[in-house]
Chains A and B, each alone.
Chain A
Amino acid sequence: MKQLMLGNKAVARGLYEAGCCFVSSYPGTPSTEITEEIAKYDEIYSEWAPNEKVAMESAFGACLSGVRSFCGMKHVGLNVAADPLYTMSYTGVNAGMVIGVADDAGMHSSQNEQDSRHHAIASKVPMLEPSDSQEAYEFAKLAYEISEEFDTPVLLKMCTRVAHSQSIVEPGERTVTKKPYEKNIAKYVMMPGNAKKRHPIVEERTARLTAYAETAPVNRVEMGGTKIGIITASTSYQYVKEVFGDSVSVLKLGMANPLPNKLILDFAAKVEKLIVVEELDPIIENHCKELGLKVSGKDVLPICDEFSQNLIAKALGGEAHEGRALDEQIPMRPPVMCSGCPHRGMFYILKKNKCTVLGDIGCYTLGAVAPLSAMEMTLCMGGSISALHGFNKAGGAENEGRTVAVIGDSTFMHSGMTGLANIAYNQSNSTVIILDNSITGMTGHQQNPTTGYNIKGDPAGKIDLEALCRAMGFNRVRVVDPYDLKAVDEAVKEELAAPEPSVIISRRPCALLKYVKHDPPLKVDPDKCIGCKSCMKIGCPSISIKDGKARVDSTLCVGCNVCTQLCPVGAIGAGNEGKEA
């Protein structure tokens, strides 16, 4: 039966029907829902791994043992997993293995805008690139066939608009095939002598895959008007069809790597003007140029940001729509930490103590946003702790006394631990703050090794952060409640002053977790409020100033009482004490 399906859910359906039996992933927008949907199938073992490298290696082990496997990640996650990827290209697979990677053109929820097709080319691994949910579903199944036929892992590339759009899918049935595991040292032990023999096999495979790409049904020509011929892929194909319909001819490439040669040359020969429409980097365009074709692309279309139908219409002479706007400054509405967010109190104290804060990837990156503006660096997963070590080693006592790293529980397990090991080993006098909100927050509440629950919500192993830090050699490990500003202030001051490395665990569950019970909303007593705006320093979306007095929005406030501790006149109190503002 036809269903409206999210692109990521369609991938999950395709994996399911293809008989996938093992999934290990690390959450990352816009890839997360593939694995969340997989977790709903009891026939498939699924898990959240601590990071993408572990996920990919686990999926590799599963395919080696003889079952079809999958790992999913966002574009930057593929950097973390690049190490196994590049060598799995040499070993090939036993049962099929598919790697889902989701790019984020437009950076809706990412720290960079890298194009993961480069990884496919550099690792010499084939990559499929769907343009809607039906293709996401079909390509996921096809990816296993290619994987097993060509003895290679296969990359399935999503992007935000394909991953997070729902379109119609017609699902089918699941069939499972398994393979026996056979010892094969020459194929699976990649030491120089063996790898040297595998590299030519990889090159020969790429040649066979290129031949496959010439006639593969996923690369299709849609002939229309021949004045313009457009080569396109992924969501860009949809924008091209939206603007031009059948008035132009289109070569729609479903296989991003390797690209066909003859197919492109034949298409180019049939049209007067050749244009490549692809988001981010000019990969198809450069390929066309290598084939000696005269082609337009990034000369008229941008490399930065995502496309849309109007953007393409304006660039290529189609009909762009115009709207109207108010003659009015519309204030921006950037994302903010939620009401009751446990990170807020910690950032307030760090700012108050004029700390230099090196940050990491998660909801708490919002600590960099006004009015807190308390974070000065964010690079990549785990980068805060390692950078703190370098910052302190380079700057000495002056840096050590005022600089901290902040990192979430999930990010710490992902790749913060190794940075912490470096501090313990090479002894910088660093203060690391683990913001333990007991969940992976930004990507929408996934479990991780510190929460005690697995992907299905069942009890699982639970890593004790305090014990882990102590085992690494930290003598100073202390836990604070970030709602208690006095305790946080003491902890930060004391640990920065301490003559040895320390870890502060700021522990309170995410305010959005279902099991978290909230106190009633707070109220401001307008007779007491002196309008000093002390409560405004924490950037809480529930608090505003109306007619010179603070006001708490009772539909948003969760009664965390952080603001109460800032009020010099005790004007903010529990709902039944204060008067209606």
Chain B
Amino acid sequence: METKNIMIVGVGGQGSLLASKMLGYLLLSEGYDVKVSEVHGMSQRGGSVVTYVRYGSKVASPVIDKGEADYIVSFELLEAARWLPFLKADGQIVTNIQQIDPMPVITGAAVYPDGLVDKLKTSGAKVDALDCVKLAEEAGSVKAVNLVLMGRLSHYFDLPEEAWMKALEANVPPKFLELNKKAFALGRDAV
């Protein structure tokens, strides 16, 4: 099988690590060769962060390059736009519509572009945009945005629900399990 590529992008501190752990676990248990690559250190302090998840029969490079991503899962709207060049011609974006102003916008040195969801669509990308913060709050905690996104992503995969649930259970603390399951379901079933 040809290698498939998933990028998880967002703002440092948003909790994308759990999403990549869960995906890694899921794809490994489905029998794929898997590589997950992330960057630690300075960029985690509120900077733009990216995690690469690659799977297939044999994965070589640990990173995803421009024009290669089958999926971009974005925790923040501007980040979806930033990483768009990495999307394949027929790739799918799944994005939270939350907007977090970066420092140049806060200081007035730059402007946060408006209408990004439409602009992404106009570029020819397939875009699934949802209010993950609202859904996460509905599930019980704003911190569950990552599970809302994973739930939504599961929509595009031909994998059994139990496999996702097993990956979820293996990667979240038991006391937050129900909350996270609810967030996952809300993301999966969102319209």
At the interface with chain A, which of B109-117, B150-158, B172-180, B183-191?
B109-117
Q: What are the residues of chain B within 8 A of A3 when measuring CB–CB? A: 28
Name the B residues within 8 Å of A370 (CB-CB).
103-104, 107, 109
Check: B1 CB closer than 8 A to any chain A CB: no
Q: Which of A32, A164, A239 has the most CB of B within 10 A?
A: A164
Flag if A165 contacts B123 (CB, 8 Å): no
Chain A residue at minimal CB-CB distance from B142 = A555
Among candidates A33, A109, A310, A331, residue contacting B78 with C-beta atoms closer than 8 Å: A331
Whether A541 pairs with B103 at a CB distance below 8 angstroms is: yes
CB of A446 to closest CB in B, whole Å: 12
Residues of B contacting A167 in the complex (Cβ-Cβ under 8 angstroms): 33-36, 59, 62
CA distance A221 to B116 in the complex (A): 49
Is A168 among interface residues, defined by CB-CB distance under 8 A? yes
B87 interface contact, C-beta 8 A: yes
Q: What bracket does the count of chain B residues touching chain A fall in?
A: 35 or more
A residues less than 8 Å from B87 (CB atoms): 323-324
With A242-B61, A328-B119, A336-B47 known as contacts, the answer to whether A29 contacts B40 (CB < 8 A) is yes
Report the minimal beta-carbon distance from B133 to chain A, rounded to whole angstroms: 8
One of A33, A161, A335, A543 near B62 (C-beta < 8 A): A161
Pair B24/A4 contact, Cβ less than 8 Å? yes
The answer to whether A108 touches B84, judged by C-beta atoms less than 8 angstroms apart, is no
B62 with A238: CB separation less than 8 A: yes
Does A308 count as interface, using CB distance less than 8 angstroms? yes
A366 in contact (CB, < 8 A): yes
Tell me, yes or no, whether A330 is within 8 Å of chain B by CB.
yes
Question: B103 touching A330 by the CB < 8 A rule?
Answer: no
A560 located at the interface, meaning its Cβ lies under 8 Å from any Cβ of chain B in the complex: no
Across the interface, which residues of A come within 8 angstroms of B101, CB to CB?
541, 544
With a cutoff of 8 Å between Cβ atoms, the chain B residues found around residue A366 in the complex are: 45
Residues of A within 8 A of B161 (CB): none
Q: What chain B residues lie within 8 Å of A161 (beta carbons)?
A: 37, 62-63
- Whether, in the assembled complex, A235 has its beta carbon less than 8 Å from a beta carbon of chain B, the answer is yes
Q: Are B79 and A541 in contact (CB under 8 A)?
A: no
Bound-complex Cα distance A242 to B65 (A): 11
List the B side residues contacting A324 at CB < 8 Å: 84-85, 87, 89, 123-125
The reply to whether B40 and A444 form a contact with Cβ atoms under 8 Å apart is yes
Q: With A109-B40, A309-B65, A323-B66 given, is the CB distance from A334 to B47 under 8 Å?
A: yes
A160 within 8 A of B: yes
Query: Any chain A CB within 8 A of the CB of B102?
Result: yes
A443 at the interface (CB under 8 A from B): yes
The residue that A166 contacts in the complex, of B24, B68, B86, B105, with Cβ under 8 A, is B24
Which residues in B have their C-beta under 8 angstroms from that of A426?
A: none
- Which residues of B (13-68) have their CB < 8 Å from a CB of A? 13, 24-25, 28, 33-48, 59-63, 65-68
CB of A362 to closest CB in B, whole Å: 10
For A8, the closest partner residue in chain B by CB is: B40
Say yes or no: B42 contacts A442, CB within 8 Å: yes
Q: Complex: how many Å from CA A108 to CA B12?
A: 13
Determine how close the nearest CB of chain A comes to the CB of B92; give it in whole angstroms: 14
Contact indicator B40/A337 (Cβ below 8 Å): no
Q: Which listed residue (A2, A166, A323, A328) contacts B35, Cβ 8 A?
A: A166
B68 touches A321 (CB 8 A): yes
Q: Which residues of A contact B79 (CB under 8 A)?
A: 333
Tell me how far the C-beta of A222 lies from the nearest C-beta in chain B, rounded to whole angstroms: 12
> How far is B12's CA from A337's CA once the two chains are assembled, in angstroms?
11
Number of A-B contacts (CB under 8 A): 191
A326 touches B45 (CB 8 A): no
Let me know if A471 is at the binding interface, CB within 8 A.
Answer: no
Give complex CA distance A405, B118 in Å: 49
User: Does B165 lie at the interface of the complex (its beta carbon under 8 Å from any beta carbon of A)?
Assistant: no
- B82 interface residue, CB < 8 Å from A? yes
Q: Which of A551-567 contact B (CB under 8 A)?
A: 553, 555
Verify if A329 is at the interface (C-beta below 8 Å from B).
Answer: yes
Q: Which of A326, A536, A545 contacts B120 (CB 8 A)?
A: A326
Residue picked from B28, B63, B85, B112, most chain A C-beta under 10 Å: B63
Query: Which B residues touch A162, using CB under 8 A?
Result: 62
Residue from the set B34, B40, B100 with the largest chain A CB neighbour count within 10 Å:
B40
Q: Are A335 and B47 in contact, with the CB atoms below 8 A?
A: yes
The distance in angstroms between the C-alpha atoms of A109 and B102, with both chains bound, is 19
**Residue numbers in A under 8 Å from B124 (CB-CB):** 324
Q: A108-B42, A238-B61, A335-B12 are in contact. Are A325 and B85 (CB under 8 A)?
A: yes
CB-nearest residue of chain A to B25: A4
> Closest chain A residue to B109 by CB distance?
A370
Are A109's CB and B59's CB within 8 A? Answer: no
Is A191 among interface residues, defined by CB-CB distance under 8 A? Answer: no
Question: Of B42, B45, B104, B123, which one neighbours A338 at CB under 8 angstroms?
Answer: B45
B29 to chain A: closest CB distance in Å? 10
Give the distance in Å from the alpha carbon of A403 to the alpha carbon of B82 in the complex.
Answer: 39
Residues of A contacting B47 in the complex (Cβ-Cβ under 8 angstroms): 333-336
A182 to B84 CA separation, bound complex (whole angstroms): 63
> Quick check: A310 and B105 within 8 Å, CB to CB?
no
Least CB distance from B110 to A in Å reads 4
**A335 and B67 form a contact (CB under 8 A):** no
Contacts of A1-58 to chain B: CB distance below 8 A:
2-4, 29-30, 32-33
Which residues from B are CB-within-8-Å of A109? 39-43
Query: Which of chain B's residues have a CB closer than 8 A to the CB of A541?
Result: 46, 100-101, 103, 106
Is B81 an interface residue when CB atoms closer than 8 A count as contact? yes
Quick one: which of B13, B66, B78 has the most chain A CB within 10 A? B66
B41 touches A30 (CB 8 A): yes
Residue A326 contacts which of B11, B44, B81 (CB distance < 8 angstroms)?
B81
A335 B66 Cβ-Cβ under 8 A: no
Separation of A324 and B69 alpha carbons in the complex (Å): 12
Check B37 against A335 for contact (C-beta < 8 Å): no
| Highest count of chain A CB atoms <10 Å: which of B45, B60, B61 | B61
Answer whether residue A241 sits at the interface, using C-beta atoms and an 8 A cutoff.
Answer: yes
Excluding A333-B103, A334-B103, A335-B12, 14 further A-B contacts by CB distance (< 8 Å) are A109-B42, A165-B36, A166-B34, A310-B66, A321-B68, A324-B84, A326-B81, A326-B84, A331-B102, A335-B42, A442-B41, A443-B41, A444-B44, A541-B46
Q: Interface on B for A, CB 8 Å cutoff?
A: 11-13, 24-25, 28, 33-48, 59-63, 65-68, 78-79, 81-82, 84-89, 100-113, 116, 119-120, 123-125, 133, 142
